[in-house]
Amino acid sequence: MVGFLDWVLVALAVAFAFSIGAHYTGACMGLPYAAGAIRPRQALALMAPLSFLGALVASETVEGTVGHGLIAISSGDVLLAVEIVAVAFGLVSAYNYLRLPTSTIQILVFAVVGVGLGSGLGVHWATIGSLLLLWAIAPLLCLVGAFLIIRVADAFRPPVAPSPTVGPASLARTTVVGLVGVGAAASFVMGANDVSNATGGFIMTGLFNPVTAAALGGLGLALGVVFWGRPLLQRVAFDIVDLDPRLATGAQLSQASVVLGATVFGLFTSLNQALVGAMVGAGLARGKRIVHWETVRGILVGWGLGPVSGLAAGFAAARLLGLAGSG
């Protein structure tokens, strides 16, 4: 029988997925939008169903990692799962409000670790170590990949000055298709990579099977994209690198390739960190002057705050819950 706490977990998970969907609009469709290949409303309308589809058909291995690979939580311990999701959801929503791109994955993982430590549960440090290694390497891989893509592309066809008219009508059809195509691929990858942040609690507790969990989480992602996604779309699109269509395509292609490769092995990394690494790599291929380093430094601060705040808030919440239970 589904109890009150189960319904609370469902509500929090869907709301968290909503917040995640909004958070990653810039990481998926910001570059096609900035390059003028697609309008904001069209970008969000395309991204929403693709993120749902990615969650539904390609997230099972990552859900297993979140559900069983981070801490030794007992099946059916819904209260701890509620605590984890509530902490991560609250932090991500706060960063969304501040328009600060952070890593929902890192916030979630460190919230799980904080709750585990605060509750006296075993932490699977080997998995945490693998994730930390991936998180360090992925942005660098994206940077190098985008740098090489742009250098090779420029060698075959030198870049031209962008048109003063920004919009789909000012771009060649093949350019529009390429930009929108890589943004669509990133949207699918986001669903596969990030839905488990919200739905991992379902797998931890055995409340739903992976398909049902992914469907609920995917629905939340899609709704978040449509109804709250525009602010982060604007932030990532215009504040980091002065883009042209080729830079945007190369950066997005590098990002999607690296993140998709990680999900195949049941691991997950930050779309925002992968994208910023790729954007910096694409920018460096043309010269440092087109990278807005002040914005990049501000985003790096956000990346540092995310894990620390997740760990601290998770630990504090677990201790407070323990004190309340013993009181």
Each residue's pLDDT tens digit, 154-207: 998 887 655 544 455 557 788 889 999 999 999 999 999 999 999 999 999 999
Give the model's pLDDT for residue 33. 87
Read off the pLDDT of each residue in 8-31 and give the average, rounded to a whole number: 91
Three-class SS state of 193: helix
Helix residue spans in the chain (DSSP H): 4-23, 25-34, 40-58, 60-68, 78-97, 104-119, 125-156, 173-205, 210-228, 230-238, 245-264, 271-286, 293-326
Banded pLDDT at 230 (limits 50, 70, 90): confident
Tell me what pLDDT residue 242 has. 61
The pLDDT score that the predictor gives to residue 194 is 94
pLDDT of residue 51: 97
Q: How far apart are CA 142 and CA 278, in angstroms?
A: 5
pLDDT at 214 over 60: yes
Provide the pLDDT for residue 306. 86
Determine contact, residues 16/89, Cβ cutoff 8 Å: yes
Q: How far apart are CA 59 and CA 31, in angstroms?
A: 24
**CA within 13 Å, CB half, 11:** 6
d(CA 6, CA 142): 39
Average pLDDT over residues 215-226: 96
Quote the CA–CA distance of 191 and 174 in Å, as a whole number: 26
The confidence band for 313, taking pLDDT boundaries of 50, 70 and 90, is: very high
pLDDT exceeds 70 at position 292: no
Burial category of 234 from C-beta neighbours within 10 Å (exposed 0-12, middle 13-18, buried 19 and up): middle
Higher pLDDT, 194 or 234: 194
Contact between 187 and 29 (Cβ < 8 Å): yes
For residue 26, the model assigns a pLDDT of: 84
* Tokens read off for 40: 């904001």
Cα radius of gyration rounded to whole Å, the chain: 20
Rounded to the nearest 10 degrees, the angle between the axes of helix 173-205 and helix 271-286 is 150
The amino acid at 302: G
Label residue 123 exposed, middle or buried (CB < 10 Å: 0-12, 13-18, 19+).
middle
Q: 249 or 95: whose pLDDT is higher?
A: 249
State the average pLDDT for the chain: 87
User: Considering only 164-168, 216-220, 237-241, 275-279, which range has the smallest mean pLDDT?
Assistant: 164-168
How many Cα atoms are found within 13 Å in the side-chain-facing hemisphere of 282?
29
CB within 8 A of 4, min separation 6: which ones?
A: none
- Token pair, residue 221, equals 């992602």
**Per-residue pLDDT reduced to its tens digit, 94-128:** 887 776 767 888 999 999 999 999 999 999 999 99
Residue with structure tokens 């559900």?
A: 67
Average pLDDT (224-251) is 77
pLDDT at 10 over 80: yes
- The pLDDT of residue 238: 56
Residue 297 has pLDDT above 80, yes or no: no
Question: What pLDDT does residue 236 have?
Answer: 59
DSSP assignments along 240-282, one per residue: SB---HHHHHHHHHHHHHHHHHHHHTT----HHHHHHHHHHHH
Structure tokens at 93: 């929503």
Best CA proximity match to 82, nearest among 258, 244, 231, 201? 201
Q: For 24-33, 137-146, 165-174, which range has the lowest pLDDT when averaged over its residues? A: 165-174
216 vs 236, which has greater pLDDT? 216
